[in-house]
Structure 1
């Protein structure tokens, strides 16, 4: 992929002139829109009280897409020594890598998982979400292995590759036993933690891998591009879902206040009756 024309000609010494690639959560955005009815079926009552606007069939894809977008915003702010590619097509045997990050710590292949208010427990190679065993660790490592092979072939650099598993907005993340290969983080403070990883790549090798990461010829065949209209629809849906969550939280809080007030009034009435 070529440099961004708005930034002038590419410089081998400046990774910031390389254009990052990919729309975060691309395939899941398309899947969400495919499964989500065009019209809001909640009705006025549902809209006022914060009913979830996402159709049940679309919710898993929607959560994955919003998680990928949230992590992408963090990664894109890592700084000029880093290059980030999103929704990277791999070798056909592995699903797209959510994010491929190249910087001083080497190559980080980031798998983002959006598990809002769920409990996540990690014990070595095993990951449990609300006590249900998942294959997330194996998937993260498979993506990292595939991305590593392709980057090494394109850059001719024997670059170190680290799988990274990021959980977005978990209720609780407990790492009882650290995995042997994979780094596990919550999205909170993610940027700071990545910047603190040990330096393993620098100089000409770093520049070569930077260039390979954003070159379309490095990766597999991409999925069809999203249209501006698809992105607009998803952004609108995301805002609507955020508003619904806030409304639901407000009404739950208001209900709790009303209930507590009623209890206090009842207690006060009983106390006055006893005193009287």
Structure 2
């Protein structure tokens, strides 16, 4: 291989290993072979073949500029107490305590903002894509980009473009609140989860001690919402949100059960973005209907139904792209 150039049609992908004392980035080719990896602690490259040197350097430079992959330190910072007597010694110790408190806060914030579950772990040769890479609203933004630019008098075209971009912005808004649920560490969240082969996707999937939820985001800013056992009305107009959410949850439960090997209860959920009012006096028990600002409090009040081990097992299956493909298609039928 050393005398041959890298095949021009192969693309490269990076997986990251971030653990206490370990920070390594691996470069994989699209044909399933590894080009090498870099120890980000020492800056040392380990190549599968010298011919991949330029490729590894270029791919990792782009990836590091985009991701900024810095692992937290293996241990918390230790306090440093300067010596000294009198007023100068007291001032020095006071400054040291303040600096230590600042470093400790920064360290703990970093650990919360960079949990291990958010690091993509899939090499291409594994046959699946890690869905933690997906951004909220990704499918909607991609579709909006394919729409022709509406003309000055094309009111219908502007309405269609506005509908897609409003939906995408709504999913991004809800994703920020879902991150507040997941940030303390017990919950996990995925966005824009593709299901099947017809372009369908789940806005969000939330997994935690309170259960597994498929989250359907709906942007109705300033609207009046009324929810009944089987009816969802926005400003007096019916919408099939309850039916669609139930269908999504039932489909997700079947796919997750097939991947995990045990039954997985999935509850549907509708999250509203900034409505004027929500009447849930007759809301169904099987579909959670909340506003985005209620998400954190809602999650904190849920009873515990999954152990940490069960959360990890379900999320490990949920983050694999192959989980959301029907078994028939997975076998190539």
TM range (shorter): 0.5 to 0.7
The answer to which structure has the higher helix fraction is 1
Q: Which residue matches 1:216?
A: 321
Residue 129 in structure 1 maps to residue 129 in structure 2: no
Q: Distance in 2 between matches of 1:3 and 1:72?
A: 23
Q: Distance in 2 between matches of 1:74 and 1:180?
A: 23
Q: Which residue matches 2:158?
A: 55
Q: Which residue matches 1:22?
A: 134
Q: Which residue matches 1:187?
A: 292
Task: Give the TM-score normalised by the residue count of structure 1.
Answer: 0.67
Residue 151 in structure 1 maps to residue 256 in structure 2: yes
**Contact 1:111 / 1:165 at 8 angstroms: preserved in 2?**
yes
Residue 141 in structure 1 maps to residue 153 in structure 2: no
Map 1:80-159 onto structure 2 (within 5 A): 80-92=185-197, 95-159=200-264
**Contact 1:112 / 1:166 at 8 angstroms: preserved in 2?**
yes
**Contact 1:18 / 1:211 at 8 angstroms: preserved in 2?**
no
Q: Distance in 1 between matches of 2:199 and 2:242?
A: 14
Task: Give the TM-score normalised by the residue count of structure 2.
Answer: 0.56
For residue 5 of structure 1, the aligned residue among 7, 11, 17 is 17
Structure number with larger C-alpha Rg: 2
For residue 180 of structure 2, the aligned residue among 77, 88, 94 is 77
1:197 Cα deviation after fit = 1.0
RMSD across aligned positions (CA): 2.9
Describe the shift of the 1:94–1:121 C-alpha distance in structure 2 as closer, same or farther (beyond 3 A).
farther
SS of the residue 1:69 aligns to: helix
SS of the residue 2:207 aligns to: strand
Map 1:235-250 onto structure 2 (within 5 A): none
Q: Which one scores higher on RCO, CA 8 angstroms, separation ≥ 6?
A: 1
- Segments of structure 1 that go 5 or more residues without pairing to the other structure are 10-14, 43-53, 222-276
1:151 Cα deviation after fit = 1.2
**Contact 1:21 / 1:84 at 8 angstroms: preserved in 2?**
no
**Contact 2:194 / 2:321 at 8 angstroms: preserved in 1?**
no
**Contact 1:118 / 1:130 at 8 angstroms: preserved in 2?**
yes
